[in-house]
C-alpha cells in the first residue's frame, strides 16, 4: 500500500480524522500514556499549536486519512530549538502496511527544511512494530526510562530513541 498513499500537510478539515486515529492509539494502549479519549476541542487546540516549524502530515489512501505524523516541541528552552519530538499514529486497520515509513520519511525532510538537527521519540518497549519502523529508518535506542509513566494503574517503562538528521 505504501506506494499508493498520498502524504501531505494536514489541513483543518483533517482534524476529526486525526482525532479518531489518536483515540484508537489511546484505546489500544500501544503508543501513548494518555488514557482518556480526546475531543474535537482538544485536537483543534493541538492542531492550532502545530503551525510553523511543527508540521503535521497525513497519509491519505482512497481519499481517507489513514495515518498522521507530527513534529512536536521537545523542550521550550532555546538550547533545544534544534530538537523535535516525533509522533506517528496509524489507523489500526492499516498498521504494518508501510504507511508509517512514508510519513516518517517526509516528516524528516520537513524537519531538515525547518532547521531541526535531531528528532527524538519515546515509545513503549513492547511496541515492537513502532520500534522496527524507527530502527529501519536509522533511529538509535538511547535508553529506557524505568517506570516512567502510569498506564492502567501500573508503572510502565518508556524507551527513548533519536536520530541526527542534519
pLDDT in tens, the chain (166 residues): 545 899 999 999 999 999 999 999 999 998 999 999 999 999 999 999 998 999 999 999 999 999 999 999 999 999 999 999 999 999 999 999 999 999 999 999 999 999 999 999 999 999 998 999 999 999 999 999 999 999 999 999 999 999 999 9
Residue 100 placed within a domain: yes
E-assigned strand segments in 16-139? 56-61, 64-73, 83-90, 118-123
Number of domains in the chain: 1
Distance CA 103, CA 32 (A): 18
Residue 85 placed within a domain: yes
Residue 12, domain CATH: 3.40.630.30
Residue 154 placed within a domain: no
Half-sphere exposure of 141 (CA within 13 A, CB side): 14
- 115: domain range? 2-121
Residue 7 placed within a domain: yes
Exposed (0-12), middle (13-18) or buried (19+): which is 148, by Cβ within 10 Å?
middle
Residue 163 placed within a domain: no
| Closest C-alpha to 57, from 26, 75, 84, 24 | 84
Amino acid at each position: 500500500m505504501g506506494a499508493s498513499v498520498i502524504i501531505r500537510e494536514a489541513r483543518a478539515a483533517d482534524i476529526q480524522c486525526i482525532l479518531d486515529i489518536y483515540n484508537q492509539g489511546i484505546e489500544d494502549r500501544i503508543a501513548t500514556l494518555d488514557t482518556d479519549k480526546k475531543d474535537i476541542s482538544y485536537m483543534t487546540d493541538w492542531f492550532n499549536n502545530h503551525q510553523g516549524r511543527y508540521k503535521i502530515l497525513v497519509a491519505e489512501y482512497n481519499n481517507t486519512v489513514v495515518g498522521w505524523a507530527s513534529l512536536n516541541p521537545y523542550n521550550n528552552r532555546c538550547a533545544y530549538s534544534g530538537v523535535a519530538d516525533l509522533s506517528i499514529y496509524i489507523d489500526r486497520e492499516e498498521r504494518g502496511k508501510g504507511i508509517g515509513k512514508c510519513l516518517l520519511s517526509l516528516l524528516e525532510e520537513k524537519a531538515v527544511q525547518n532547521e531541526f538537527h535531531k528528532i527524538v521519540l519515546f515509545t513503549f518497549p513492547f511496541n515492537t512494530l513502532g520500534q522496527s519502523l524507527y530502527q529501519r529508518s536509522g533511529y538509535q535506542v538511547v535508553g529506557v526510562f524505568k517506570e516512567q509513566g502510569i498506564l492502567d494503574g501500573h508503572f510502565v517503562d518508556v524507551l527513548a530513541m533519536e536520530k541526527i538528521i542534519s
